[in-house]
Amino acid sequence: MYLKTRHVHIAGITPSPNATWMKQICRNLTDSEDGFLKDASRLIVDRDTSFISMREFMKQNTDAKVVLLPPKSPNLNAYMERWFRSLRSECLNRMIFFGRKSLQTAVQEYVEHCHAERNHQGLGNELIEPNDNVGAVAGTIECLERLGGLLKYYHRRAA
């Protein structure tokens, strides 16, 4: 998550994040053309052992400073902790998944909902990625749904 914009990127989903998988995720995130972390100056990482290879890769291959959180300090990464809490309570706890693909689809839908359809108090109740019709004063109000009605968004259709 970029803290300034609250833009979230899901790097990958796996049941067992081993060192090889984490190194590939790091390569994808730091890709010079479209990597999410290509311009990052700092990367805040907790002390989970699955992130050891990620920390080493980032130190060796990027200019970004890797900041380790102190042990047992969830409040120091409050933005991500709150985002994951919202993901679990608004989406994941209300669904039954039949494999990685269904989980991946649900998480991606939630991320798109957060970016384009959900106001953020930390950003002055603005959207992260508003479309052209945001702020229209004329037109009918419609309800759009994601994940079978689990996530709803009300917007005004442009006249």
What ranges do the domains of the chain cover? 19-156
Helix H or strand E encompassing 159 = none
DSSP type of residue 157:
P
Task: Spell out, as residue ranges, where the chain has pLDDT lower than 50.
Answer: none
pLDDT score recorded for residue 37 = 81
Structure token digits, residue 20: 């090889």
Structure token digits, residue 123: 């950003």
CA 20, CA 41: separation in Å to the nearest integer?
24
Structure token digits, residue 115: 């970016």
Taking only the tens place, the pLDDT of each residue in 114-123 is: 888 887 777 7
pLDDT score recorded for residue 88 = 94
CA 75, CA 66: separation in Å to the nearest integer?
18
CA 156, CA 140: separation in Å to the nearest integer?
5
**Phi, psi torsion values for 142, nearest 5 degrees:** -125, 155
CA 47, CA 11: separation in Å to the nearest integer?
18
DSSP labels for 102-131? HHHHHHHHHHHHHHHT--BGGGTSB-SS--
Taking only the tens place, the pLDDT of each residue in 27-62 is: 888 887 888 887 888 888 878 777 777 778 887 878
Strand-pairing partners, residue 43, are 66
pLDDT score recorded for residue 158 = 67
